[in-house]
Structure 1
Amino acid sequence: MTNNKSPQGIQSLQLGINIIDVFLEQGRPLKSSDVQELTGMTKSNLYKYLYTLTQSGILYRDPVQNAYSLGSRLIEYGNAALGNMDIIGRIIPHLKDISQQTSLTTLLAIWSHDGPVIAHIWNANYGINIGAQIGAKLPLLSSSGKIFAAFMNETEAREWELRELSKLTEVKRKTFIAEREEIEKNKFTYAVEPLIEHISSFSVPLLDFEKNLLGALTIVGFTPLIPTNADDEISQYVIRQANKVSASFGHRP
């Protein structure tokens, strides 16, 4: 009589997969205590798994919130992590930190089907009117709009850019086309009062492991307070924060 035994699995590997599954099912960043409650693992054993998964890039640990989420390595594997990645949720803590450090308003712009829109705003000064709200579409000559024109190559983005260019004078079109090369080179752009008088902004790109544009990180404030170049101390601080965000999505400069 033949004994058909099921093959033995690797228990430690299965435990690691179970931890990843918890993040897929929850669809949000989790603290280690959350993971412990959901998996039933001991604290000491769970720490080893979280450390290993984070070191390998399968999980990402947000140093500000001390919470974990699916990491860039899973994006590279092309599995379900991409569909469950909370881009806005991951970036919000950085918006808050930048706003607190600079005393300026920060916002995240992402792509919609027909142009960039504001996805989140962190106000440093609740009395300031930046000329737009969450969900507002942004024009080409806003600093966020310039970032999308410079770094997004999808057909929709090119069509949007052409429509926006058609609204401009010939002088403004030529000025922007000449400026775009510098934006691509420096990964920085500045806009003087694009939406409302006395309020200006600068933006930097957020990129993933394939150098695709995730969004534009934009700093807004009264015109005299906004840096006009990438060498300014505030600009450099924001660029470093943007690089951290991009690195969490697998981007390597």
Structure 2
Amino acid sequence: MTTETKTIGIQSLQIGLNILEILAMEKEPLKFTDIQNLTAMTKSNLYKYLSTLSQFGLIYRNPHTNAYTLGHKLVQLGNVALSQTSLIEVVIPYFKKITEKTNLTVLLAVPSKKGPLVSYILSADYGINIGAQIGTHLPLSSSTGIVFSVFEKDVLMKEWEEEELSKFNESELQQFQSEKEKTKELFFVSKTEPLVKHVSSFSVPILNYNHELLGAITIVGITETVPKSADHHTGQYVLNAAREISEYFGFEK
């Protein structure tokens, strides 16, 4: 018979972190009474927590409005955390598992002024010309391009998208808009790749805490071997991997 081990937390630390989360979620300065209403804490206890958090620079009280916001120390800590871990370092172990499970090629595309840029590729055991290598810019009509069109907010990339759209005919524009709507709902899109015949792919987004697109995971293979639906077990496996990576960078759906 096994005994389940329960994790014991420090209650005071949990309360302090809860206050930080409240300030982050409200996205606007909060006064003492606002925080008290949201936490249901006594005035004396709340004052002690706010005073301690302020001392460490985790929150800031505006002396003119007496309203609280997140402090500079959190920005410093966040920047250090981001600098210590790159996106590629995070995705590599996931890509290895995906390739082992699916025997398909996996690539990571990141934003650039000229469109999605392939920054990392993990190839399957067998040789296949996927029409892309590290440094390749992928077109808007690819599965990766559609993901970027749906989730990328950068103005410079919108300029790239407008230039690409100008090359579409009316039928292609209608199909593209339909694919975008489905991708927005499913976080998944599958396409026959425009770069190489008989090759297909599907792509899923990687997002951060601010729902900004960090990159896209794209699975590439011979058309017959690449899932067309997010419900397929391979699609679900990759979607779960993308969700875990996104959560690492603070994403909450």
Considering the TM-score relative to the shorter chain, is it more than 0.5? yes
Matched residue type, 2:151: F
Are 1:161 and 2:155 matched, yes or no? no
TM-score by length of 2: 0.68
TM-score by length of 1: 0.68
2:209 corresponds in structure 1 to: 209
Tell me which structure has the larger Cα radius of gyration.
2
Counterpart mapping for 1:86-235 below 5 A: 86-235=86-235
Moved over 2 A (4+): 74-85
SS of residue in 1 equivalent to 2:238: helix
Matched residue type, 2:220: V
Maintained 8 Å contact 2:112/2:157: no
Maintained 8 Å contact 2:198/2:223: yes
Q: Which runs of 5+ in 1 are unaligned?
A: 1-73
Counterparts in 2 of 1:75 and 1:114: CA distance versus 1, 3 Å: farther
Q: Which runs of 5+ in 2 are unaligned?
A: 1-73
Q: What are the superposed Cα offsets for residues 113-150 of structure 1, whole Å, 9 maximum, x if unpaired?
A: 22111111101134111011110000001111110001
SS of residue in 1 equivalent to 2:88: helix
Cα offset, 1:75, TM superposition? 7.1
Maintained 8 Å contact 2:201/2:219: yes
Identity fraction in percent: 45
CA distance in 1, matches of 2:85, 2:75: 9
Matched residue type, 1:164: E
Cα offset, 1:78, TM superposition? 4.2
Matched residue type, 1:241: A
CA distance in 1, matches of 2:115, 2:76: 27
1:6 corresponds in structure 2 to: none
CA distance in 2, matches of 1:149, 1:77: 31
Maintained 8 Å contact 2:143/2:193: no
CA distance in 2, matches of 1:117, 1:144: 10
Cα offset, 1:84, TM superposition? 4.2
Counterpart mapping for 1:32-47 below 5 A: none
CA distance in 2, matches of 1:202, 1:212: 20
Q: What are the superposed Cα offsets for residues 26-71 of structure 1, whole Å, 9 maximum, x if unpaired?
A: xxxxxxxxxxxxxxxxxxxxxxxxxxxxxxxxxxxxxxxxxxxxxx
Maintained 8 Å contact 1:76/1:209: no
Counterparts in 2 of 1:112 and 1:131: CA distance versus 1, 3 Å: same
CA distance in 1, matches of 2:181, 2:166: 20
CA distance in 2, matches of 1:152, 1:176: 16
- Number of residue equivalences: 181
Maintained 8 Å contact 1:75/1:81: no
Counterparts in 2 of 1:97 and 1:171: CA distance versus 1, 3 Å: same
Query: How large is the RMSD of aligned CA atoms in angstroms?
Result: 1.8
